[in-house]
Structure 1
Amino acid sequence: MLFRASYLGIDLGAEKINAAQLVNKGNNKIIKSLYQMENPIGDTVFSKPKEKAAIRQCLAKINKKFPSNNVVIGISSKLAMFRHVTLPLLNKKELKEAIFWEMQEFSTVLNSDYISDYELLEKQKDTYRVLLVAVPKDIILDYIEVAGDAGFFLKALDVYPLANARVLRAQKKTDVTAIIDLSSCNREVTIVDDGKIVFNRNLNISYNSTTSKEIFNMISTNTNLTDHTASGLGFLSPPYKNLILEISRTFNFYTLQSKSRQIDEIVLIGQGSELQHCKDVLKRIFNTKVYTGKEFKYDFISKNLVIDGNHLDFFSAIGFALRG
């Protein structure tokens, strides 16, 4: 069976730019190619001419390697505002009208022009669950300009919670999964149940490689981590303690809202191999499975593709490509 249409997802992170190419093979989408490069400006906002030129050069290089008419690029969650709303079952016209008025809430907190969109997350017995998103208009226009100058015709700009949930849906995951993204441009928790987003929340924390090294040193020098975690979080440094508390609050909120359902597993993305230092602490504190690096296997990957390094570096890029 020959490969047909291709789909390209680009995760434009502050540290790395990751790209994933998916193709149709028969009735399935499979991961054909993955690519990673440094982000030369160290940011996801590029309003200055030199910054735009640097990002344009990176995207042009990706376009040369993976030309595609189905390109989706991610917008950092730090640049977006999210609202989860529940609406009654309505006809198509009434639903659009209701969503329009819900969108107006963004104008009370955003001080500039913005572009908004929505996704119907789930149709329940008597209601719709809807995710609303707004991003400042100038940021959207910068992304479109730079992508176009690099030779891309964008199919869409997308957000990370939706992209990450798509990967779990493609994996046919039915468990309740918490995706914890600790990249500097996102820092959020997305809870996914049976492939559908239930809840997402930005983490108001200061977490960086220094924090990761601190916890790595603590784990390396303490042979009895179980006793430490059983006695509370006092043994952790303040930044790491805040991280654990924010995650715990998010999990507790989900449990209350979902009538005592628990998190079945955690997928940890965002800081490459450094995240391995977090695994033992999260596993013991939350008493659940934690996936990092090569422990997470993609079921829809070409047999000829070998992933060097951290499999989860490409998690979001694959999710963006799946939108195609």
Structure 2
Amino acid sequence: MAFSFFNNYFLTIDIGFKLIKVLQVRKKEDDAIEVVNFGIGNTPKDCIKNGAIRNKARVIEEIKRLIRENDITAKEAKIVMSGTNIITRIIMIDDVPEDEVENRVKSEIESFMPIDMKDHSVDFKMLDYNRNGGVKKRRIFVTAVKKSIINSYVDILNSLNLKPVAVDTPANSIAKLFNNEIWLKDTDTRIRSQGNQRFDTGTVAVLDFGSETTIVNILKNKVIEFNRVILIGSSNIDKEIFEKIVADKLKVDFPEMYKKKYGIILKRDYNNDLEWNCSEISKGVIDEIIKNINTCFNFYTTRCGGDKITKILITGGGSQLIHLKDYLEGIFKIPCYSINSVDIPGVEFSENLDINRIYYLTNALGIAL
């Protein structure tokens, strides 16, 4: 959407499996955005399944509460869909004239993607060229979403008496965020010793650690080229701690509290078995996620014509697991940074806001741009 006048306010909504995020944003004269206020609430239980909203009424009530309690007054809104029912693929087509690209893409989609074109909204972005068997091919990033899913999110905005401006995917929200030049903050010795660094150069993996899923996004020179949803998230750690620690008679009543307290322990304290046992459970779940991430990385480089990953950025509520960044860096042997370690020019926050919670807000910020 193009804004035609100064000081235009709008809101963005990101409905996740566990949390709902609502931001009120002001579009400034220089095209920067200022987050004026935001609210984070719990997604009502069992209301989201595979990206579809099962109980709109309960979701709407929670959004209304966040709007009311955080003095959000804008009437135009953008909303981010949950990611598990969004299909993305890279397809390759022959090097044809520009006016033939759309028909060729549609033909490839009908042949190789498991969708009914009549029931889906399909978008595609042209990437670079590649050679496949000595033949020059154009790489195309395709996104397909069921129209019924999109309509359910539009219905939520209409029920809130908000004017729908956009319904977007998490992958596209990340791509919009990275359309800016992103810089690393002066937060650790690596950055201080090398001076200011642009983060968004080369091939970057953005890993969104959510409650029920982990989303793998890969961008090359700020353009999204790969997106997959892994059906394992940080809540799997809670379940494992509850089942295994309780079974060991250690009587842990709040597994999420222990997950947050201990995280991944890099050095064992032999006087604290609870700490070590919780850490080992966390590592077991993270190792399973890492195995899936590796599969994604290999698929991207071998099947999608992608380049080697040069940096990793982690975001989402699960990214706050203690020592996760260090653990990932040790496994992948690639520099790994948290979303809290980067500056995003063009994104500002009002002085009274707690920006330390930005790891929850990545998708809601991206769709605002």
| TM-score interval, smaller chain | 0.7 to 0.9
Q: Is the 8 A contact 2:316 2:362 kept in 1?
A: no
Partner of 2:56: 52
Match of 1:302, SS state, is: strand
1:197-276 mapped onto 2 (5 Å cutoff): 197-205=224-232, 207-208=234-235, 209-210=237-238, 213=259, 216=262, 218-219=264-265, 221-222=267-268, 238-256=284-302, 261-272=307-318, 274-276=320-322
Partner of 1:286: 332
Q: How far off its partner does 1:256 sit?
A: 4.2
Letter in 2 for 1:85: I
Aligned-pair Cα RMSD in Å: 3.5
Partner of 2:39: 35
Match of 1:200, SS state, is: strand
Q: How far off its partner does 1:151 sit?
A: 1.2
1:139 aligns with 2:149: yes
Stretch of structure 1 that moved more, 296-305 or 71-80? 296-305
Q: Is the 8 A contact 2:329 2:335 kept in 1?
A: yes
Match of 1:219, SS state, is: coil
1:69-148 mapped onto 2 (5 Å cutoff): 69=76, 71-91=77-97, 93-105=99-111, 109-110=114-115, 114-122=119-127, 124=129, 128-148=138-158
Partner of 1:182: 209
Q: Is the 8 A contact 2:312 2:337 kept in 1?
A: yes
Structure 1 residue aligned with 2:176, among 166, 177, 189?
166
Q: Distance in 1 between matches of 2:314 and 2:266?
A: 20
- 1:165-209 deviations in Å (ceiling 9; x for gaps): 221222342232111122145422111111101222222546524
Match of 2:350, SS state, is: coil
Letter in 2 for 1:191: I
Letter in 1 for 2:88: F
Q: Is the 8 A contact 2:319 2:359 kept in 1?
A: no
Stretch of structure 1 that moved more, 253-262 or 158-167? 253-262
Q: With structure 1 as the length reference, what TM-score do the two structures score?
A: 0.79
Q: Where does the alignment leave 5 or more consecutive residues of structure 1 unmatched?
A: 224-233
Letter in 2 for 1:103: I
Match of 1:262, SS state, is: coil
Q: Is the 8 A contact 1:4 1:24 kept in 2?
A: yes
Match of 1:276, SS state, is: coil
Q: Is the 8 A contact 1:182 1:270 kept in 2?
A: yes
Q: Distance in 2 between matches of 1:162 and 1:272?
A: 21
Letter in 2 for 1:44: I
Q: Distance in 2 between matches of 1:7 and 1:127?
A: 41
Q: How far off its partner does 1:60 sit?
A: 3.8
Partner of 1:302: 348
Q: Is the 8 A contact 1:267 1:292 kept in 2?
A: yes
Q: Distance in 2 between matches of 1:260 and 1:156?
A: 30
Match of 1:78, SS state, is: coil
Task: Count matched residues.
Answer: 307
Partner of 1:230: none
Query: Cα gap change, 1:47/1:291 in structure 2, threshold over 3 Å: closer, same or farther?
Result: closer
Partner of 2:74: 67
Query: Cα gap change, 1:131/1:219 in structure 2, threshold over 3 Å: closer, same or farther?
Result: same
Match of 1:94, SS state, is: helix
Q: How far off its partner does 1:257 sit?
A: 6.0
Letter in 1 for 2:60: R
Q: Distance in 1 between matches of 2:114 and 2:61?
A: 34
Q: Where does the alignment leave 5 or more consecutive residues of structure 2 unmatched?
A: 131-135, 183-199, 241-255, 270-279
Q: With structure 2 as the length reference, what TM-score do the two structures score?
A: 0.70
Q: Is the 8 A contact 2:22 2:63 kept in 1?
A: no
Query: Cα gap change, 1:185/1:97 in structure 2, threshold over 3 Å: closer, same or farther?
Result: farther
Letter in 2 for 1:249: T
Q: Is the 8 A contact 1:23 1:32 kept in 2?
A: yes
Stretch of structure 1 that moved more, 160-169 or 94-103? 94-103
Query: Cα gap change, 1:54/1:133 in structure 2, threshold over 3 Å: closer, same or farther?
Result: same
Q: How far off its partner does 1:242 sit?
A: 1.7
Q: Distance in 1 between matches of 2:263 and 2:349?
A: 38
Q: How far off its partner does 1:240 sit?
A: 2.7
Q: Distance in 1 between matches of 2:122 and 2:306?
A: 31
Partner of 1:4: 7
Match of 1:26, SS state, is: coil
Match of 2:356, SS state, is: coil
Q: Distance in 2 between matches of 1:118 and 1:186?
A: 23
Partner of 1:315: 362
Q: Which has the larger radius of gyration?
A: 2
Query: Cα gap change, 1:86/1:63 in structure 2, threshold over 3 Å: closer, same or farther?
Result: farther
Over the matched positions of the two proteins, sequence identity in percent amounts to: 21
Q: Is the 8 A contact 2:47 2:59 kept in 1?
A: no
Match of 2:140, SS state, is: strand
Q: Distance in 1 between matches of 2:140 and 2:67?
A: 33
Letter in 2 for 1:222: R
Q: Distance in 1 between matches of 2:350 and 2:96?
A: 47
